[in-house]
């Protein structure tokens, strides 16, 4: 009896191919598109990256954080400080800001991880508030009213907009690759085992505490990157904008619409969010109420989200992260009873 | 300094009322109600709207409001929140977070962003002499006494009544409790109904003591949460003391700089979390 582990299908390889082609096409946008399109893309890119990190935490790591805006804001302020005070190029400061956010996640996790479940959520929110109030007391970055990114002065508007756009595109591709490769790695396998059952994973030798910390740090890196990118594009930062809980609110909405615990979820959710925002944001409070009600309805009645719905209809995963064991059993040797779930149960329509 | 501490203790009484409902719902069904603060604000606005209809006195508003809160809490748990319960905390968190956003925007639409308050009548200006130069407001003192009464009442309810026994049973082991004939869906709904009565009372007092505005909810949730964690989960008296500690911390911070009160409260909370992760009074029996 032989066995093969299926990690990707022709359909999923095709998805990646189409995605890569789309990225190449998107990279040419500054040569033919309008600058408002680029600005819109950069904004939605920040929401998308932030939502992907929330999905990684809540959908895979089982940590429902309401305080990731702590790292988003920190990324923004670190980028601004590196640019304004130390003369760094703000674009090059983005990865550095992300790195600082990831480092900050180490001590923060010591506090946050003392709380579990729902109390972890509110605990992370308190920590984000401490970040906001602390930065609001630092007069060098304008205190409560905020300050402007002066390091980009002297660069022409077109150059700035084009570079911001390309950097945003690069950040999105990097974030998707980061999450995809992380989930397909050995650590990712461990993480998905933890998601399915923490006790079972621990008994198989998975270091649950270490994995959770790893996810928390990776998510802080991504959120820091999104924050730095957002304020490079926005040119103005304030504690309320940087550390606002609405970042998490929109991330939850994007992830619940697209489908939690699947990579393509936030991608689909971000497209839906962009479209809703475009057509309905003028309705203000009614629009926000609608988003809240939609998130509630999705959670109660449609937990798989649009991503899960699409996967069922199409019959394949667009970005597979599971390893599926395919047994080529000979008739004489029956499959042992304790074999992990047969491929036919997991993925009925897989073609080899 | 005595003055600051007394003011802090009185503020803590209000925070205790904020947090009892949160503590009750988490204790009975491990449900973290992110909309707690927003529901308190709803309580405040509801009292402001109802008071003129029942003769303008806040006591009458409370008499009308508290039974309504009980019914609303029961219905919300029965129809929506019971569906979100389970091993995974995510559904209940997302649903209550969504609820919080809906409430904030609905209040903004109905009442606009202006802060409003409830007329306390002669209570607003009355004060008591505690000897020497120290005076305390009658209303803050009344709130502290109410907090004390609610805490004692909840603790008695849990330790001596059959309802309290049902609460503890479904909290310890839902399936075993159901085998013994308890309907956990009903028990959970009664717990939320009681939590909503406490929430409405907290909102009423918040509206009397200061003001309510649609965006206040999240901060009130954080105060409630910090009180629960500082005191130690699973004990109502712990929550009461935690709220007093938070109130005093904020008053002390406020004394140094008017902008530091809330911040200092957060720092004390984080310090307690670091040094005594189970709170000052970890779970007591009963």
Give me the domain span that covers residue A45: 36-252
Domain count across chain A:
1
In chain A, what's the furthest Cα-to-Cα distance? 78
pLDDT digits (tens, 9 = 90+) for A36-56: 899 999 999 999 999 999 999
Residue A330 banded pLDDT, cuts 50, 70, 90: low
Q: For residue B16, is pLDDT > 70? A: yes
Is A98 inside a domain boundary?
Answer: yes
Give dist(CA B286, CA B50) in Å, integer: 38
B275: enclosing H helix or E strand: helix B261-275
Quickly tell me which residue has 């008591």 as its tokens.
Answer: B128
Average pLDDT, chain B: 92
Q: For residue B136, is pLDDT > 90? A: no
Q: Which of A66, A111, A115, A118 to mutate to test the interface with B (most CBs of B within 10 A)?
A: A118
Q: Determine the pLDDT at residue A352.
A: 35
A248: enclosing H helix or E strand: helix A246-258
CB-defined contacts A:B, below 8 A: 125
Rg of chain A over Cα atoms, rounded to whole angstroms, equals 21
* Chain B residues touching A288 at Cβ < 8 A: 101, 104-105
Is A188 inside a domain boundary?
Answer: yes
CB A90 within 8 A of CB A295: no
Q: What does DSSP say about strands B127-129 and B135-137: parallel, antiparallel, or unpaired? A: antiparallel
Is A95 inside a domain boundary?
Answer: yes
pTM: 0.91
Would the CB atoms of A249 and B226 count as touching at under 8 Å?
no
Q: Determine the pLDDT at residue A117.
A: 84
Taking residues A112-128, report their average pLDDT: 93
Of B30, B95, B270, the CB nearest to A300: B95
Give dist(CA A4, CA A29) in Å, integer: 42
- Which token pair is B144? 């502290």
Would the CB atoms of A293 and B98 count as touching at under 8 Å?
yes
Residue A340 banded pLDDT, cuts 50, 70, 90: very low
* Chain B residues touching A261 at Cβ < 8 A: none
Residue B283 banded pLDDT, cuts 50, 70, 90: low
B57 or A230: whose pLDDT is higher? A230
CB B170 within 8 A of CB B182: yes
Is A226 inside a domain boundary?
Answer: yes
Residue A1 banded pLDDT, cuts 50, 70, 90: low
Residue A199 banded pLDDT, cuts 50, 70, 90: confident
Chain B nearest CA to A301, separation (Å): 10
A305: enclosing H helix or E strand: helix A305-314
CB B140 within 8 A of CB B251: no
Would the CB atoms of B102 and A296 count as touching at under 8 Å?
yes
Residue A348 banded pLDDT, cuts 50, 70, 90: very low
Measured CA to CA in angstroms, residue B182 lies from B163, B167, B168, B174, B188 at distances of 10, 10, 12, 9, 11
pLDDT digits (tens, 9 = 90+) for B46-102: 999 999 998 878 899 999 999 999 999 999 999 999 999 988 889 999 999 999 999
Question: Domains (ranges, CATH) in chain B?
Answer: 2-112+136-275 (1.10.3470)
pLDDT digits (tens, 9 = 90+) for A61-119: 889 999 999 999 999 999 999 999 999 999 999 999 999 999 999 999 999 999 988 89
Q: What does DSSP say about strands A147-148 and A236-237: parallel, antiparallel, or unpaired? A: antiparallel
Taking residues B256-266, report their average pLDDT: 90
Quickly tell me which residue has 């990646």 as its tokens.
Answer: A16
Q: Determine the pLDDT at residue B148.
A: 96
Give dist(CA A58, CA A260) in Å, integer: 8
Chain B nearest CA to A151, separation (Å): 30
Give dist(CA B82, CA B76) in Å, integer: 8
Q: For residue A172, is pLDDT > 70? A: yes
Q: Determine the pLDDT at residue B189.
A: 96
Give dist(CA A272, CA A251) in Å, integer: 12
Is A133 inside a domain boundary?
Answer: yes
pLDDT digits (tens, 9 = 90+) for A286-318: 999 999 999 999 999 998 899 888 888 887 777
Q: With a cut of 0.95, is the ipTM above it?
A: no
User: A109-122 in b/e burial notation, b at 16+ Cβ within 10 A?
Assistant: bebbbbbebbbbbb
Would the CB atoms of A126 and B95 count as touching at under 8 Å?
no
> Per mean pLDDT, which of A309-323, B11-25, B116-130 is the most reliable?
B11-25
Nearest C-alpha neighbor of A57 from the set A319, A266, A204: A266
Do you know the residue count of chain A?
352
Of A118, A256, A296, the CB nearest to B89: A118
pLDDT digits (tens, 9 = 90+) for B202-251: 999 999 999 999 999 999 999 999 999 999 887 899 999 999 999 999 99
Of B99, B267, B270, the CB nearest to A296: B99
Q: For residue A343, is pLDDT > 50? A: no
Burial level of B285, CB count in 10 A (0-12/13-18/19+)?
Answer: exposed
Q: For residue A152, is pLDDT > 80? A: yes
Q: Determine the pLDDT at residue A300.
A: 93
Nearest C-alpha neighbor of B232 from the set A121, A119, A122: A119
Of A129, A289, A300, the CB nearest to B102: A289
Q: Determine the pLDDT at residue A347.
A: 43
Is A207 inside a domain boundary?
Answer: yes
Average pLDDT, chain A: 87
Give dist(CA A74, CA B150) in Å, integer: 41
Q: Does the beta carbon of A115 lie under 8 angstroms from any beta carbon of chain B?
A: yes
Q: What does DSSP say about strands A324-328 and A236-237: parallel, antiparallel, or unpaired? A: unpaired
Q: Determine the pLDDT at residue B254.
A: 93
DSSP for residue A57? I
Is A259 inside a domain boundary?
Answer: no
* Chain B residues touching A110 at Cβ < 8 A: 274
Is A139 inside a domain boundary?
Answer: yes
pLDDT digits (tens, 9 = 90+) for B263-281: 999 999 999 999 988 888 8
Nearest C-alpha neighbor of A46 from the set A254, A259, A307: A254
- Interface subset of A 44-63, CB within 8 angstroms of B: 58, 62
Would the CB atoms of A110 and B274 count as touching at under 8 Å?
yes
- Which token pair is A349? 């329509």
DSSP for residue A336? P
Would the CB atoms of B218 and A245 count as touching at under 8 Å?
yes
List beta partners, residue A5: A325
């Amino acid at each position: 009896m032989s066995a093969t582990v299926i990690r990707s299908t022709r359909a999923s390889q095709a998805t990646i191919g189409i995605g890569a082609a789309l990225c190449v096409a998107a990279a040419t946008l500054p040569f033919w598109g309008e600058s408002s399109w680029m600005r819109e893309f950069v904004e939605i890119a920040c929401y998308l990256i932030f939502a992907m990190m929330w999905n990684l935490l809540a959908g895979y790591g089982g940590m429902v954080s309401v305080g990731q805006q702590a790292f988003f804001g920190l990324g923004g302020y670190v980028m601004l400080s590196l640019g304004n005070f130390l003369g760094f190029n703000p674009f090059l400061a983005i990865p550095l800001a992300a790195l600082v956010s990831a480092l900050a996640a180490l001590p923060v996790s010591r506090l946050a991880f003392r709380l579990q479940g729902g109390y972890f959520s509110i605990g992370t929110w308190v920590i984000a508030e401490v970040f906001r109030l602390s930065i609001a007391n630092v007069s060098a970055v304008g205190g409560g009213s905020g300050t402007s990114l002066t390091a980009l002065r002297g660069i022409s508007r077109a150059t700035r907009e084009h570079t911001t756009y390309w950097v945003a595109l690069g950040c999105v591709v990097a974030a998707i690759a980061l999450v995809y490769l992380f989930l397909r790695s050995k650590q990712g396998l461990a993480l998905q085992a933890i998601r399915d059952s923490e006790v079972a994973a621990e008994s198989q030798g998975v270091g649950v505490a270490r994995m959770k910390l790893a996810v928390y740090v990776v998510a802080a890196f991504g959120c820091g990157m999104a924050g730095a990118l957002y304020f490079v594009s926005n040119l103005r930062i304030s504690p309320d904008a940087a550390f606002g809980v609405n970042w998490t609110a929109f991330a939850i909405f994007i992830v619940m619409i697209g489908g939690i615990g699947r990579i393509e979820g936030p991608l689909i959710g971000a497209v839906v969010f962009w479209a809703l925002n475009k057509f309905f944001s003028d309705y203000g409070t009614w629009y926000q109420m609608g988003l809240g009600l939609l998130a509630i309805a999705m959670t109660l009645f449609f937990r798989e989200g649009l991503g899960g719905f699409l996967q069922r209809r199409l019959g394949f995963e667009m970005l597979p992260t599971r390893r599926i064991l395919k047994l080529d059993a000979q008739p004489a040797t029956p499959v042992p009873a304790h074999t992990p779930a047969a491929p036919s149960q997991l993925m009925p329509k897989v073609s080899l | 300094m005595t003055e600051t501490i007394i003011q802090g203790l009185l503020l803590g009484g209000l925070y205790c009322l904020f947090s009892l409902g949160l503590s009750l719902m988490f204790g009975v069904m491990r449900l973290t109600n992110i909309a707690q603060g927003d529901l308190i604000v709803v309580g405040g606005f509801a009292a402001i709207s109802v008071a003129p209809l029942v003769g303008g006195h806040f006591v009458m508003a409370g008499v009308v409001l508290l039974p309504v809160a009980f019914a609303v809490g029961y219905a919300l748990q029965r129809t929506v929140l019971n569906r979100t319960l389970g091993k995974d905390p995510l559904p209940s968190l997302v649903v209550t977070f969504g609820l919080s956003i809906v409430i904030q925007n609905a209040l903004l639409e109905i009442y606009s962003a202006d802060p409003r308050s409830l007329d306390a009548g002669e209570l607003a200006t009355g004060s008591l002499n505690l000897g020497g130069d120290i005076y305390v407001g009658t209303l803050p003192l009344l709130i502290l006494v109410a907090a004390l009464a609610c805490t004692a009442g909840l603790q008695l309810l849990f330790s001596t009544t059959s309802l309290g026994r049902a609460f503890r049973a479904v909290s310890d082991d839902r399936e075993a409790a159901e085998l013994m004939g308890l309907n956990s869906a009903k028990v959970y709904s009664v717990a939320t109904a009681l939590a909503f009565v406490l929430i409405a009372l907290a909102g009423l007092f918040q509206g009397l003591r200061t003001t309510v505005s649609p965006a206040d909810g999240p901060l009130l949730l954080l105060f409630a949460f910090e009180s629960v964690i500082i005191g130690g989960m699973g004990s109502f008296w712990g929550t009461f003391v935690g709220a007093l500690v938070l109130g005093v911390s904020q008053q002390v911070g406020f004394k140094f700089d008017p902008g530091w009160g809330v911040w200092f409260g957060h720092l004390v909370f984080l310090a307690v979390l670091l040094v005594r992760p189970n709170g000052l009074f970890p779970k007591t029996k009963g």
